Amino acid sequence: MRLSDTAFVLHTRPWRETSLLVEVLGREQGRLGLIARGVQGPKKHVLRAALQPLQLIRLDGDLRGELARLVSAEALDAAPQPTGDAMLAAFYLNELVLRLSPRHDPLPDLFDAYERTREQLRGREGLAWSLRRFERDLIEALGFGFALDCDGDGEAIDPAARYRLDPEHGPRRLLSDRGHGERSQAATGRALLALAEDVLPLPDDLASLRLPMRSVLAHHLGPRGLKSWEMIGELGRLKRAAE
């Protein structure tokens, strides 16, 4: 079956001697695996450049079973060239989509969320907020989302309380006598309301979202975590050692 689509390149790796296996997120096709044959030659540098992660492309292919044969690909813009923390954020973004989105399942809301977040990677400011918003939009697009302005029992979120995020039922309020360790891994009510309203929270509230959102994603990922989480952890250990 012939197909054409607009897509973002998520990942590329060598396949056999002269070809590439390319994973993309298409507007119409959803996540798609492509075999790009014979692209390692000296005359194929333009095509190889179009198949770099984060690049927006127009592609034509021939779908045969699980994978499609790439017929042509054209870069549609200048992809972001993130460095430092933004580069790690880009790796995390692509890994999330690769691990959680199914192949051949059109997810236009996810495509739009990826497009917005990709543009925010052009700068280094606001990365944490951009990623929390993307995590929210990702689980919503995949059908795993839950309300953020009320808890799992339907009670309105208390801005002054703290909540853990139950992947199946949504926010669960912590009792006031919970230990510091559990409270430190729970989101503030103010943060949840800000995320629900898409309004940037205060720094401490924003920071409180990271671990609860990770716990939700880890539930859906299963026992194998993300390489990007391992990289972030290792970088944190090296930073602490240097200090």
CATH of residue 50's domain is 2.40.50.140
Task: For residue 12, give every residue at least 6 positions away whose Cβ sits within 8 Å of its Cβ, in sequence order, or none.
Answer: 20, 21, 22, 23, 51, 52, 53
pLDDT for residue 238 is more than 60? no
* Long-range pairs of 16-23 with CB within 8 A, sequence gap ≥ 24: 20/48, 20/51, 21/67, 22/51, 22/70, 23/98
Residues 153 and 121 in one domain: yes
Q: What per-residue confidence (pLDDT) applies to 219?
A: 96
- The last residue of one of the domains, among 26, 52, 75, is 75
| Residues 121 and 198 placed together within one structural domain of the fold | yes
The answer on 126 and 33 residing in a single domain is no
Check if the beta carbon of residue 8 is closer than 8 Å to that of residue 70. no
pLDDT at 92 over 90: yes
Mean pLDDT of 88-95: 95
- The structural domain count of the chain equals 2
Q: Are residues 125 and 218 in the same domain?
A: yes
> Is 181 in the same domain as 202?
yes
Same domain, 91 and 159: yes
pTM (predicted TM-score): 0.92
* Domain end among 40, 55, 75: 75
| Average pLDDT over the chain, rounded to an integer | 91
**pLDDT digit string, tens, across residues 47-83:** 888 999 999 999 999 998 889 999 999 999 999 999 9
What is the pLDDT, as a whole number, of residue 48?
Answer: 81
pLDDT tens digits along 177-206: 555 567 778 999 999 999 999 999 999 999
H helix runs in the chain, sequence order:
45-50, 84-100, 108-120, 127-141, 180-184, 189-197, 203-207, 210-221, 227-242
Domain housing 7: 2-75
For the stretch 7-53, pLDDT in tens is 999 999 988 878 899 999 999 999 999 999 887 766 567 788 899 99
pLDDT, average across residues 108-136: 93
Mean pLDDT for 195-221 is 96
Of 49, 75, 101, at which residue does a domain stop?
75
